[in-house]
Structure 1
């Protein structure tokens, strides 16, 4: 496997203000992620309304990020806000992932990566998730703001494409644009592109998008994602 032939996708995660979301949309990211974990400093909570997302282009996939939330609660939130996808950062089981897929949601299962990546632990999720997201293990379920050793992914051999997360920043742009890791589908950008928690630096993200897209031509959303 290699980087997706129609381009490395870009996801920005952790917004909650309508004006900031609208400004980000002008960059045409492939995915925008909204965090529904109350302990996160980027918790969307009541800040996010259906109106704040209603005018996003259909090409931008809207992702709800959850940590060990009941399936019923996830479905209620995704229905209310018209989200296309869910990203699960807790101990969600393959059965819970399948329950969300069964109603038409695209499912991303986040995997915390430390000094090693045990691919055998991922096998039960194959067929029940659309993507993995590899993030750096830390004190929080996600958003710890540090990178792990990307070389751990050089031997990735599972049929599930993945998002790369974990402290990605503009200083790494050249290294990221040269990545040719098997299975790599998208980059997940968050804490290193902020003016404050939950408020993204659009100018800085524009630089990152330009650099990455010069190496990976932009393409359409993968057929593996669900239509609205």
Structure 2
């Protein structure tokens, strides 16, 4: 498996991914807080969507050690070709209904580590993890979006963390869905997660990151 250098943040701390960054100030806030990953969203229906030129600027502004992740949803090769040609990335995050075969195809095509999101609402949803572990470098466990939702993630919803309490998988995994500075420590303690992902939970408005909330989130996660 291809691996990606990961900034572990403060010693002994949980690795945090701040997703949906849109401004250079967001990048600074994530880095100064001690995050290990920054997420760039390429999904037009999301309030966190960035154009390729904008994403390139943000990625180039990222300090060494802050892993740059491109989040895409059922993206075609043309879009991924354009993104990877212009934006210096460390990882692809597939947040749609990509099959294990598609995950393997993209991983081989672009030579980048791939994180595959798996939506969770009930225990049966965890069965898909084994199929994706065979082809992905990391797994993201996120709350399954409601049927009426227009976004596959970033809806501010969490799933029942008891479903994964005490569980572990072959590949590194990350917990997402409804996390905030107020509940992330509890989530880490209950699930044993060593990596967490946040987007709407550190915003003052949809798509608008709050530096104080980012700092509070990372501090809470890493102190759990």
Partner of 1:149: 160
Is 1:204 aligned to 2:213, yes or no? yes
Distance in 2, matches of 1:131 and 1:49, equals: 22
Using the size of structure 2 for normalisation, the TM-score is 0.84
- RMSD of Structure 2 on Structure 1 (CA): 2.2
**Range with bigger deviation, 121-130 or 171-180:** 171-180
Is 1:164 aligned to 2:175, yes or no? yes
The 3 A distance-change label for structure 1 pair 6 and 70 is farther
CA contact (8 A) 1:66 1:89 kept: yes
Is 1:105 aligned to 2:116, yes or no? no
Gaps of 5+ in 2: 1-7
**Deviation of 1:189 (Å):** 1.0
Identify which of 120, 127, 132 aligns with 1:120. 127
Distance in 1, matches of 2:127 and 2:57, equals: 42
Gaps of 5+ in 1: 216-228
The 3 A distance-change label for structure 1 pair 37 and 63 is same
Identify which of 1, 17, 23 aligns with 2:23. 17
Work out which structure has the larger RCO, using CA pairs closer than 8 Å and 6 or more positions apart in sequence: 1
Distance in 1, matches of 2:83 and 2:126, equals: 31
Distance in 2, matches of 1:9 and 1:49, equals: 22
Identify which of 26, 44, 51 aligns with 1:45. 51
Aligned residue pair count:
210
Distance in 2, matches of 1:128 and 1:18, equals: 33
* Deviation per residue, 1:41-89 (Å, 9 max, x gap): 2111257242332131120100111110013422320231101111111
Is 1:76 aligned to 2:76, yes or no? no
* Deviation per residue, 1:4-39 (Å, 9 max, x gap): 995421000011122322333222310000110111
* Deviation per residue, 1:151-186 (Å, 9 max, x gap): 1112635312211111101221441352353xx331
Distance in 2, matches of 1:99 and 1:127, equals: 13
Partner of 1:67: 73
Distance in 2, matches of 1:167 and 1:78, equals: 29
Partner of 1:56: 62
